[in-house]
Amino acid sequence: MNASDNRDAGAAWAFLAPTMALMTLFMLAPVLVALVVSLLKMDVISGHVQWAGLKNLDYLLEDEKFWAALRNTVRYVLVVVPAQTVLALGLACLLNGKVRFRRGFVTLLFLPTLTSSAAMTMIFMWLFNNNGLVTQYLQVHWGVTVRFLSDPAWALPVIMLMNVFSTVPLFMVVFLAGLQDIPAALYEAIELDGAGPLRKHWEISVPQLMPILFYVVTMGLIGCFQVFDQAFIVSGGDGGPENSTLTFTLLIYHFAFKTYNTMGLACMLALVLMLIIVAATALVNRFFKADGVNR
**What character string, x for contact with another protein (CB under 8 A) and - otherwise, covers 45-84?**
----------------------------------------
Torsion sign across C-alpha atoms 150, 63, 39, 279: negative
Q: Are 210 and 154 in contact (CB under 8 A)?
A: no
Q: Among the candidate windows 59-67, 74-82, 110-118, 139-147, which touches another protein by CB under 8 A?
A: 110-118
Closest CA to 80 of 188, 13, 167, 169: 167
- According to DSSP, residue 218 is labeled H
Q: Would you call 75 exposed, middle or buried from its count of C-beta atoms within 10 A (0-12, 13-18, 19+)?
A: middle
- Of residues 229, 239, 241, 268, which one binds another protein by CB under 8 A? 229
Q: Among the candidate windows 57-65, 121-129, 139-147, 150-158, which touches another protein by CB under 8 A?
A: 121-129
- According to DSSP, residue 275 is labeled H
Whichever of 153 and 282 has its CB closer to another protein, that residue is 282
Whichever of 53 and 197 has its CB closer to another protein, that residue is 197
- Of residues 59, 71, 157, 215, which one binds another protein by CB under 8 A? 215
109 binding another protein? (CB under 8 A): yes
Q: How far is the CB of 276 from another protein (least distance, A)?
A: 10
Please, which of residues 253-272 interact with another protein by CB under 8 A? 253, 256-257, 263, 266-267, 270-271
- Of residues 59, 105, 154, 288, which one binds another protein by CB under 8 A? 105
Phi, psi of 294 (to 5 degrees): -65, -45
Q: How far is CA 47 from CA 27, 42, 108, in A?
A: 22, 7, 50
Q: Are 53 and 39 in contact (CB under 8 A)?
A: yes
282 binding another protein? (CB under 8 A): no
Please, which of residues 147-186 interact with another protein by CB under 8 A? 165, 169-170, 173-175, 177-178
Whichever of 125 and 284 has its CB closer to another protein, that residue is 125
**Cis preceding-peptide flag for 241 (omega within 30 of 0):** yes
194 binding another protein? (CB under 8 A): no
**What character string, x for contact with another protein (CB under 8 A) and - otherwise, covers 126-145?**
xx---x-x--x---------
Torsion sign across C-alpha atoms 162, 166, 171, 177: positive
What amino acid occupies position 274? M
| CB-CB neighbours of 183 under 10 Å | 10
